[in-house]
Structure formats: C-alpha cells, structure tokens
C-alpha cells in the first residue's frame, strides 16, 4: 500500500517538474516581430531583465517563436498581440524548436495572460 502512495507522489512530482521546465517566467512582451516564418517575441520581467527559458535546448533562451504552421496560430497570435498592446503579464508554454543548426528558437505552444495562480 505504501508503495502505491510513493509511486503516485513521484508521478505527480515528475509531471510538475516537466511542466514547469516548459513554462517561461512571467513577463511583459517588449518585442514582437511578425515575419514570414512566424512571430518572434521577447519578454521582460518586472525588474526589466529578459525572461529566459530553453527547455528543449534549442540554443536561444531569450527569443521565442510562434510558428505560422501551428494549428492554433490565429488564436495564439491574437493572444500575443493583445498582451503586447495591453502590456499585461504573460507566460508562455514552450515545446520544441524551429530553425537551422546554430539558429534555432523555442516554439510557443500556448499563451497565458494575467497573473495565473494555481489553487
């Protein structure tokens, strides 16, 4: 019986760790560039430092890309634009890389606006 509880606890902890690694820290979008391949953004935190994250070792930890081929591109682009214009706090879920060797970016898989707090 105790083994089952330990297994459940380890499963919860490991899923939290994996999830946390792919989510950027909170920041405001201070750079947004729309290009033919997609949208590139940078976030800065409240102290003015770049928000850095590179969970899949893409090579750049300060510039994030929304690929134009993402199935929810329009909705995610709208969320990024509204966060940029409104200057609201934003978190990004990153998953995968795009680019060529030595010139790759972490891909945005979803956008969260505002100050999310887990219950």
Domains, the chain, with CATH or none: 2-113 (2.40.50)
Lowest mean pLDDT among 5-9, 55-59, 109-113: 5-9
**Band (13; pLDDT cuts 50, 70, 90):** very low
How many Å apart are CA 34 and CA 80, to the nearest integer?
11
How many Å apart are CA 96 and CA 106, to the nearest integer?
6
How many Å apart are CA 29 and CA 89, to the nearest integer?
8
pTM for this predicted structure: 0.77
The stretch 12-29 carries a mean pLDDT of 59
How many Å apart are CA 27 and CA 72, to the nearest integer?
22
**Band (99; pLDDT cuts 50, 70, 90):** confident
Mean pLDDT of the chain: 82
Given a cut of 60, is residue 17 above it in pLDDT?
no
């Amino acid at each position: 019986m105790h083994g089952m509880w330990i297994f459940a606890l380890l499963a919860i902890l490991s899923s939290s760790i994996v999830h946390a690694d792919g989510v950027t820290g909170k920041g405001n979008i201070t750079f947004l560039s729309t290009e033919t391949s997609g949208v590139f953004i940078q976030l800065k935190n409240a102290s003015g430092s770049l928000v850095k994250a590179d969970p899949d070792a893409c090579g750049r930890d300060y510039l994030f890309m929304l690929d134009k081929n993402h199935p929810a591109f329009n909705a995610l682009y709208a969320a990024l634009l509204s966060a940029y214009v409104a200057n609201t706090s934003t978190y990004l879920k990153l998953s995968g890389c795009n680019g060529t060797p030595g010139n790759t970016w972490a891909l945005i898989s979803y956008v969260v606006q505002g100050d999310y707090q887990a219950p």
